[in-house]
Amino acid sequence: MHASEDFDPVRSAKRLLREARTGALATLMPGGAPYASLVTVATLPDGTPVLLLSRLARHTANILADPRVSLLLDERRSGDPLQGARVSMAGRITTTEDPAARRRYLARHPSAAGYAGFADFAFWRIEPTGAHLVAGFGRIVDLTAADLATKVDNAAALLAAEEGAVAHMNEDHADAIELYATRLIGAPAGPWRIIGVDPEGCDLMLEETVHRLEFPARVTSPDKLRQTLVELALTARGR
């Protein structure tokens, strides 16, 4: 089915990916039977999903034998859950030692810090091969792995500065972050914080809720990030 003309399926799928904190992970049992489990999710700057899994879990035993998986994410809206958007991604899962995976995952799931260092736990990344988006009537679209990805090939300076920039904003500019959430996104007031930055936007979190703030233009350097955040704050104050 094709999407309606006023609908951007790539933008919708990326938003689901960036805002999700939980999802359903489907793995293959020995013999090929499907097995689904609830997992907590984060993303790398390029949008790659990251999971923290225990080797004692059934799904981990499954993926050690066959790395093919599927991950279902939904927007967790109130009311009829079938009226909300959801995306199912297929791909292959592998372990990762990327420090950004640990940092970004724990920013989204701080309670996991108590067991993330246990010997039987490891961080895993899913390399998508494609996805299927359902976002309402006339909004059912198949997407490619490239559709889901955020390009970071020319953003090395931004990624190197991400951790410091996030800490600086949360420590010194909490008022601006709350303005982003309340006036640019329309979220309720509260102690919002930034948990991640990438070339296309940043992720804001309050308690169990994550909202995506898209940048008006692509950002690839610390200077451009600073300029963009100042401009967004001015826009928010103007509203």
CATH class of the region 156-238: alpha beta
pLDDT tens sequence across 2-51? 445 578 999 999 999 999 999 999 999 999 899 999 999 999 999 999 99
pLDDT tens sequence across 54-97? 999 999 999 999 999 999 999 876 667 777 789 999 999 999 99
Indicate the pTM of the whole model. 0.92
Q: For the chain, which residues make up each domain, given as ranges?
A: 9-148, 156-238
Which CATH superfamily groups domain 9-148? Electron Transport, Fmn-binding Protein; Chain A (2.30.110.10)
DSSP of the chain: -PPPTT--HHHHHHHHHHH-SEEEEEEE-TTS-EEEEEEEEEE-TT--EEEEEETTSHHHHHHHH--EEEEEEE---SS-GGGS-EEEEEEEEEE---HHHHHHHHHH-GGGGGTTTSTTEEEEEEEEEEEEEE-STT-EEEEEHHHHPPP-TT-HHHHHHHHHHHHHHHHH-HHHHHHIIIIII-PPPS--EEEEEETTEEEEEETTEEEEEE-SS---SHHHHHHHHHHHHHHHHH-
Percent share of the chain, pLDDT over 70: 96
pLDDT tens sequence across 147-178? 999 999 999 999 999 999 999 999 999 999 99
> What pLDDT is stored for residue 78 in this prediction?
67
